[in-house]
Amino acid sequence: MRRRLLSLSVSIPLALGLNSAAQADEGMWMPSQLPDIAGQLKAAGFRGNARDLAELAKPPMNAVVKVGGASGAFVSKDGLVLTNHHVAFGVIQYNSKPDRDLIQDGYIAADRAAELPANPDYRVLVTTGFDRITDRILAGAAGKQGRAYFDAVDAATKAAVAECEREPGTRCSVANMYYGTDFYLVRQLELRDVRLVYAPPNAIGNYGGEVDNFVWPRHAGDFTLLRAYVGKDGKPADYSPDNVPYVPPAHLQVSTRNVKEGDFAMLAGYPGVTFRHRMASEFANQIDWQLPSRVALFQKMIDVIEGTAEKDETARVAYASQVRSLKNNLKRAQGELDGLRRSNATRVRREDETSMFAWLDRQPDAAATRADIAAAQAVLDAGVATRERDQLIGVIQSQTQLLRAAITVQRLANERTKPDAQRETGYQQRDEVLITGQLKQAQRRYAPQVEKALLTELLTQYQALPAAQHVPEFDAVFGTTPAQLKQKLDAMYAGTQLGTEANRLAAMQADRSALAASNDTLLQAAASLMPALLRLDDEAKASAGELLRLRPAYMRALIAYRQSQGRAVYPDANSTLRVSYGRISAMDPRDGVHYRPLTTVQGIVEKHTGEEPFDAPKPLLDAIAKGDFGTTAEPSLDTQTVDILTNLDTTGGNSGSPVLDAQGKLIALNFDSNWEAVSASWMFDPRFKRAIHVDMRYMRWLMAKVYPAPHLLKEMNLPAE
């Protein structure tokens, strides 16, 4: 039986067709799987050819792009990209100043010369290839364990990526499917010159703010238009006034027809991460510790940043994007926790796993599979001992600007002493352009008093941990008492020159000896922390290597068990291109409560208070009162629609995903999930899972009647009415 289970790694992409017992609306499918479910797609209402969806070089898939870590789509032949306002919020914030607040006022580029450059590390990625290379990645890992297994997979991954990236302008990666069971080489065209074209005011793009976040009914016009540029030779290039708009191989046509409940809908995008195939113990850890601790931590960080920046307008603008991201993640974590508790996810997953083990024990040679699963569980158990420390140290690095910059340049100098193929992922030559961009933009997202206050909170929590979780280097750099911490942080930020862009970029070019001789206090602190960070990284890789080796036993058993039940299995999301399908769908979340799947502008007026987050702009309110909705009005409601509800399977990263009708026309733009379904990253519940989208009719009306941009409507082949 063990050999039979192992053989599933070859047949997985071909063996996952849906059947009559499966939920047709569940699943984030790889495009290559769609021909296998062509019958189900057709039965659901799709009128195209499923085989075309599997071809990344054909429409509509070659029009769907990865934008700033989320999703988007080309909507004109001249590189116009449609994505969410919140996905492009960092671009809007980057171009905002106290005397030019694009966040509040929005922005419309009158012509291409007026389009504003995005932050230097912002990217649009166009997927051009997706090839299975499992045998190549795992060949060198056979017979190895722990860190050696990790290193073998890592070396093979880097070699595949380096070979793939020999073509200039190409960004490649290796995607891990089914937790170490299958690997795919992803090839993407990397467009580095991205510009802001059209952004509605924040009071439209984020109407309702955090109050309405993950809530239906919704009334946000969460969209923004960007444009991708290339050099005159048509190849990806850094920003230059001489660059020309990128000509995509295809673009989506925004629909001009009306839509209604029950209509077919299909979404394509780059969902971030789901965990639906994790072990029952991981479900329990997520609900009992991870989510409650994350909620508390994010709330503290938000309170500190907002409290410190409250009276400093420059600091408030600088941290607007970070605060918005934290608030979104906080609300998501709380919703996920509530949803998993409501669904009794721990019990349901444990009972399902118990049944799987009972089935497995009846198969020949189950003992070997069971042994690997038990070994994987032991690795997970070991990680529980340091989870609080590991979470704090991760946040200290990710949520700061100058300290992160100092750590980055120290790590980069360390990695440069190795051959490029042996450098840590993220610090190879291919990554230095992105690192440069990150160091440049730090200037506009930093205020010393805010960063010091944030570090004070995080390190105070670290100091309160049990002694067994303390790291000697962190204790030496930051002290072990509140008084020592204050003294050291004051000295550290008083003695650094990294607050200036030129000094950060100079530090990036310095070698280890030059950095060692530096008297910059933050660089010195980062150098002192580096041995600990490298040691913790080594420990994490050893654990990751073991899980990479052992998890496939669990996955193969789970896949075989699901197939014995006649159930579909699709890979957990991992930021690769996926497709989900379903319909425009109402919902009954609670007894006596019914959610209609369309909202209208009347809801904007009803919610309007004149104060953030329900401060609809006067031009919008005037246009609603005038009632001139033209061809974008919904006939059955005799008014203008705003947002749409579907039962599409989505998660974080799907923000900005285009929603298509049965003919492949763009009818909506995904931007959120409902509160009842936030937990879908771990457990899909068809009773509650809904996705929230901007109705393209609302976007068209805003661009025609409220904040007019007739030149952009013309470019998208849309009527300016």
Region label for 184, one of left (φ > 0), alpha (ψ between -120 and 50) or beta (otherwise): beta
User: CB–CB of 654/587 below 8 Å?
Assistant: no
- Kindly give the residue spans of alpha helices, DSSP state H, lying in 275-344: 280-285, 291-309, 313-318, 320-342
- Cβ neighbours of 57 (radius 10 Å): 11
Distance CA 520, CA 102 (A): 35
Active site residues: 86, 222, 655
CA distance 596 to 714: 32
C-alpha span between 593 and 423 (Å, rounded): 56
513/414 Cα distance (integer angstroms): 10
In the structure encoding, which two tokens stand for residue 352, read together? Answer: 């399902």
Could you tell me what percentage of the chain is helix, strand and coil, using 3-state DSSP and rounding each to the nearest 5? 50, 15, 35
Give the Cα separation of 102 and 2 in Å (integer). Answer: 60
Length of the chain measured in residues: 721
Contact 469/479 with Cβ under 8 angstroms? no
Report d(CA 612, CA 202) in Å as an integer: 10
User: From residue 14, how far is each of 2, 20, 246, 649 by CA, in Å?
Assistant: 20, 17, 36, 21
Is the Cα dihedral 590, 592, 593, 596 positive or negative?
Answer: positive
Nearest to 575 by CA among 229, 249, 188, 53: 188
Alpha-carbon distances, residue 717 vs 78, 229, 255, 694, 710 (angstroms)? 12, 20, 10, 19, 10
In the numeric block, the tokens 């936030």 are attached to: 678
The three-class DSSP label of residue 531 is: helix
Eight-class DSSP state of 574: B
CA torsion sign, 201 to 204 to 208 to 212?
A: negative
Distance from the first to the final alpha carbon of the chain: 65
Beta-bridged to residue 662, according to DSSP, are none
Question: Is the bond preceding residue 245 a cis peptide, omega within 30 degrees?
Answer: no
Which stretches does DSSP call E strand in 369-490? none
Full DSSP string of 343-355: TTHHHHHHHHHHH
d(CA 690, CA 648): 6
φ, ψ (nearest 5 deg) of residue 598: -130, 135
**Side-chain half-sphere CA neighbours of 241 within 13 A:** 2
Q: What torsion do the CA atoms of 360, 366, 371, 374 make, to the nearest 10 degrees?
A: 10
Task: Tell me if the bond preceding 708 is cis, omega within 30° of 0.
Answer: no
- Taking the C-alpha atoms of residue 178 and residue 190, their distance in angstroms, rounded to an integer, is 26
Residue type, 576: T
Please tell me whether residue 488 adopts helix, strand or coil conformation. helix
